[in-house]
Amino acid sequence: MKKIHFKTINSTNTYIKENYKDLPNFTCVSSAHQSQGHGRYNRNWESNNNENLMFSILIKNKKLIEKFPSISLAIATCILKLLTSYKIKNISIKWPNDVYVNDKKICGILLEGIANECLIIGVGLNVNQTNFSKEIEDKTTSMINIKNKKTSIFLLKNKLYKLILKELNKIEFDDKSYLEIVRNNNYLKDKEVFASINNKQELVKVIDVNEDNS
Ligand code: BTN
């Protein structure tokens, strides 16, 4: 399996988008720094140089591309397992693609695709960064802020890559056991959120995550 690491790049997701034709299935691209790291809705993804884990995995396998609705939540459960193995507690999964610890975001997942050709799973996990910008500092955390000690980003990357490959293999064969983990650690459970119902935004109480990941 191919792994590529950059000292700096615009975005690991963008790199894969521009090069997927020449890269094998499950290529992992990481970078110590991103000049244009982005999240959902094209929001900026903040990270100091060499302090956090930022990586993307390319999926070219057609059977898995079809399973894209399962992927964000399934990857979130890999992050939960990874953080648990570092003895971090109070982890929850915020549908559809964030991981929280103690009510603060520690990880974001960005799934991007090129129709029927590939999927790109981008993961940003806050590891050794202690200070975040004013806009996000109240709602953001990192492993060092929780554990008070540094963690090897290299080791984390390798462990997470293995966990993700294992989970993708399960998804390919329709094993949905990740849903149980999501349901048991659902950040939004019993919270009120706005949802679009008959084209109207209504305040609803979250009960659970459905079988189809909605
Ligand atoms: C989000 O919370 O909206 C998702 C954030 C995803 C950030 C990661 S960092 C690695 C990869 N490259 C990017 O530009 N974004 C993802």
Residue 69, preceding peptide bond in cis (omega within 30° of 0)? no
The answer to whether the Cα torsion of 84, 192, 171, 75 is positive or negative is: negative
Residue whose CA is at the smallest distance from ligand 1 atom 14: 37
3-state SS assignment for residue 126: coil
Atom of ligand 1 at shortest distance to CA of 40?
3
Residue with tokens 């990270």: 47
**Ligand 1 proximity of 45 Cβ (cutoff 6 Å):** yes
| Span from the CA of 55 to the centroid of ligand 1 (angstroms) | 8
pLDDT in tens, 8-52: 999 999 999 999 999 999 999 999 999 999 999 999 999 999 999
66/5 Cα distance (integer angstroms): 28
Amino acid identity of 83? L
Atom of ligand 1 at shortest distance to CA of 38?
14
**Ligand 1 proximity of 54 Cβ (cutoff 6 Å):** yes
In order of 4, 70, 116, 135, the CA distances from 65 in angstroms are: 22, 10, 7, 35
Atom of ligand 1 at shortest distance to CA of 37?
14
**Ligand 1 proximity of 122 Cβ (cutoff 6 Å):** yes
Give the pLDDT confidence score for residue 105 in this predicted structure. Answer: 98
Average pLDDT of the segment spanning 111-137: 96
102/5 Cα distance (integer angstroms): 31
Check pLDDT > 80 for residue 88.
Answer: yes
35/193 Cα distance (integer angstroms): 33
Check pLDDT > 80 for residue 204.
Answer: no
Residue whose CA is at the smallest distance from ligand 1 atom 2: 108
Give the pLDDT confidence score for residue 213 in this predicted structure. Answer: 65
171/161 Cα distance (integer angstroms): 15
**Ligand 1 proximity of 100 Cβ (cutoff 6 Å):** no
202/192 Cα distance (integer angstroms): 10
**Ligand 1 proximity of 56 Cβ (cutoff 6 Å):** yes
Global pTM reads 0.93
| Span from the CA of 124 to the centroid of ligand 1 (angstroms) | 5
113/182 Cα distance (integer angstroms): 23
Query: What is the helix, strand, coil percentage profile of the chain, to 5?
Result: 35, 30, 40
| Span from the CA of 198 to the centroid of ligand 1 (angstroms) | 31
Give the pLDDT confidence score for residue 210 in this predicted structure. Answer: 75
